[in-house]
Amino acid sequence: MIIQRFKLLRKTCIGLGALASAIALPLTPVQAAGDLLVAPTRVVIDGQRGTEVILNNIGSETATYRISLELRRMTAEGNLEDVSEEQENEIEQAAKAMIRYAPRRVTLPPNQPQAIRLGVRAPEGLPDGEYRAHLLFRAIPAARSVTEQNIPEGGFSIALTPIYGVTIPVIIRQGNLEATAAIANGRLEKKTDGEALTFDLNRSGDRSIYGEIRVIKPGLSEPVMVARGIAVYPEVNQRKVVLPVPPEVAAQLKGNVSVEYYEPANAGGGLIAKTDMVLR
């Protein structure tokens, strides 16, 4: 029995895909649906004021996108895991219930941005705390045409279509919340593809912390490494951070370094935590 290779969906994407699509042998008219741009990459809502998120179709074909609210939980490893409906806890359910957003489905021609409006309606007597859900943007794959489904006699085809997208956190803070962080257990770990700077980020308080890690070498004015977008969410008190070290930086990291955790510039840019360590 023969399985014949039969590619049902082909994609190209502007610019980025030019080279790759040449390799992917586009024997049939190419079809790109689903490439997307989302901005900003994080939303924090204090109080009742809403905001908006921009979704842009950066593919070469008209595409339909679905916007949905999902729940994710941070693991001790720092990954974000899906939360199924049975696993939802009260805080997560409250977050989903109070976030309003529209539109939830939008069809966009190439290079057409669309603002997704976000608002919060907090129920009366909502306990103080941080509430969070993740807004998922993804394209609905185009239906395959009949001709593409024809298969040769006596064989079979396999078509695995990826549905790809982006999630960004939407965070609602109710009341006066505080949090602090500490860095511990810094070390260089050998991985299959090089070294990684690994440490634990400890969090205490009643909200998440978010910011960027800078690794400072005494005597150098510029950080030798910067990693942005590192959060510790309230469901964990400690997470591991694993930062792959580029080979050209590896030698520089050895010895005394200072690992510093800063708030993002648009949140004041203040120092959250700082630890000196010796790496070997």
Chain residues 143-172 in contact with another protein, contact rule CB under 8 A: 144, 149, 151, 154-169
Q: How many CA atoms, within 13 angstroms, populate the side-chain half-sphere of residue 159?
A: 15
**Contact between 273 and another protein (CB under 8 A)?**
no
Select from 203, 275, 261 the least CA-distant residue to 229.
261
CB of 171 within 8 A of CB of 45? yes
Which residues, including other chains, have CB under 8 Å from residue 71's CB and lie 6 or more apart? Answer: 82, 83, 88, 92, 95, 96, 133, 134
**Contact between 82 and another protein (CB under 8 A)?**
yes
**Contact between 12 and another protein (CB under 8 A)?**
yes
Query: 14 or 126: whose CB is closer to another protein?
Result: 14
117-136: which residues touch another protein (CB under 8 A)?
Answer: 134, 136
> How many binding residues for another protein (CB under 8 A)?
79
172-191: which residues touch another protein (CB under 8 A)?
Answer: none
Residue 171 and residue 132: Cα distance in Å, rounded? 4
Q: Considering the complex, what minimum distance in angstroms separates the CB of residue 271 from another protein?
A: 17
**Contact between 25 and another protein (CB under 8 A)?**
yes
Residue 249 and residue 263: Cα distance in Å, rounded? 24
**Contact between 194 and another protein (CB under 8 A)?**
no
**Contact between 40 and another protein (CB under 8 A)?**
yes
Helix (H, G, I), strand (E, B) or coil at 253: helix
Query: 80 or 279: whose CB is closer to another protein?
Result: 80
